[in-house]
Amino acid sequence: AQSVTQLDSQVPVFEEAPVELRCNYSSSVSVYLFWYVQYPNQGLQLLLKYLSGSTLVKGINGFEAEFNKSQTSFHLRKPSVHISDTAEYFCAVSDQGAQKLVFGQGTRLTINP
C-alpha cells in the first residue's frame, strides 16, 4: 500500500525567505506525485504535478518540486515567500494507472512579516 509522509506539520518562515516543504512516499510501483495548497476556508488547489519527464517540476505561484526516485521524495520549494503563501500544503501520490490519491498529513506554512 502507498503512504505519504510530510515531515513537518508546521513551518514558520519570514517573508522573502526561501522555504522547503518535505514529502516522502512509499510505493512498490511507479507513481504520479502532486502538491496541493489549501487557503483558509477553501478547497484544494493544484500547485504542481509530476507525471513523467523532467524531475524538476514548476508550478503556480513560483513553487517548484523535485522528484527523487532513489530517495522516494518530492520536496516543494520556493526561493522567496510572500505573506499570501500562508496556507496548508498537501503532498499526494497515486499509482500510475490508478486514480486514487493518497495524501500526506499536511504542512501548515506560516509567513511572518
Summarize as ranges the residues that interact with another protein (CB under 8 A). 4, 6, 9, 32, 34, 36, 42-46, 49, 51, 90, 92, 99-106
Please list, residue by residue across 78-97, b when 16 or more beta carbons sit within 10 angstroms of its beta carbon and e when fewer do: beebeeebbbbbbbbbbeee
Q: How far is the CB of 104 from another protein (least distance, A)?
A: 5
Question: Which residue's CB is nearer to another protein, number 7 or number 15?
Answer: 7
Q: How far is the CB of 80 from another protein (least distance, A)?
A: 27
Question: Which residue's CB is nearer to another protein, number 6 or number 73?
Answer: 6
For residue 102, give the amino acid letter: V
In DSSP notation, 46-87 reads EEEEE-SS-SEEE-GGG-EEEEETTTTEEEEEESS--GGG-E
Q: How far is the CB of 11 from another protein (least distance, A)?
A: 15
